[in-house]
Amino acid sequence: MGPMSKSVAGILAWVFTLFHPHVAMAAGNVNVEADSMEIIDAEHKTVFRGNVVAKRPTDTMKADEMTVVSADEKQPDGTTKSVTDHVDAKGNVTINTRDAVITGDSAKFDVVHDQLEVDGEVKVVQGTSVVRGQKLNVDLKTFHLNMTGGRVNGNFTPN
């Protein structure tokens, strides 16, 4: 994908820092706003609903609903710490960075396995370059990108 892959990798790195607890602390504060929030302690879930906006100083992720699921992780000193396991975003998902925008109907971020999947009318825009498809899968360890689910349409304009 040429120059597009660097921007997509940057977007996905942001998503990784947004929800990966060890990196997010170093990356700065994340501000989340929503119409409502529900904590389901027995299931280790926090559900944000209605106009959900998660922001860092230079990046924003929006969705109609965002569910953050945590798990207890044992620490070297024997204590446990709650860490993010996975994040599901549903409805009008948009990830904005300085360089690009990814949109889709839903997104699933598996923090444990460093995998991101964006589904349903996926569009990646960088400047005037646009790539469209039905499903975007990204391995955040290797930044290997895979657009699948039917025909992929790309319009690339050199900088």
Token representation of residue 117: 């999947």
The whole-number pLDDT of residue 58 equals 73
Percent of the chain with pLDDT over 90: 27
CATH of the domain at 35: 2.60.450.10
In a domain, 120, yes or no: yes
The pTM assigned to this predicted structure is: 0.74
Q: Is residue 143 part of a domain?
A: yes
Domain that holds residue 94: 3-154
Kindly report, residue by residue over 117-136, the tens digit of the pLDDT. 899 999 988 888 888 999 98
Distances in Å between the Cα of 132 and the Cα atoms of 6, 71, 101, 146 are: 17, 34, 12, 12
Structure tokens at 70: 């945590």
Q: Is 159 contained in some domain?
A: no
Give the total number of structural domains in the chain: 1
Query: What's at 118, amino acid-wise?
Result: V
Model confidence pLDDT, tens digit, residues 29-82: 668 899 999 999 889 899 999 999 988 777 788 999 999 888 888 889 989 888
DSSP type of residue 43: G
Number of continuous H segments (helices) and E segments (strands) in the chain:
2, 10
Write the DSSP string, 62-123. EEEEEEEEEEEEE-TTS-EEEEEEEEEEEEEEEEE-SS-EEEEEEEEEETTTTEEEEEEEEE
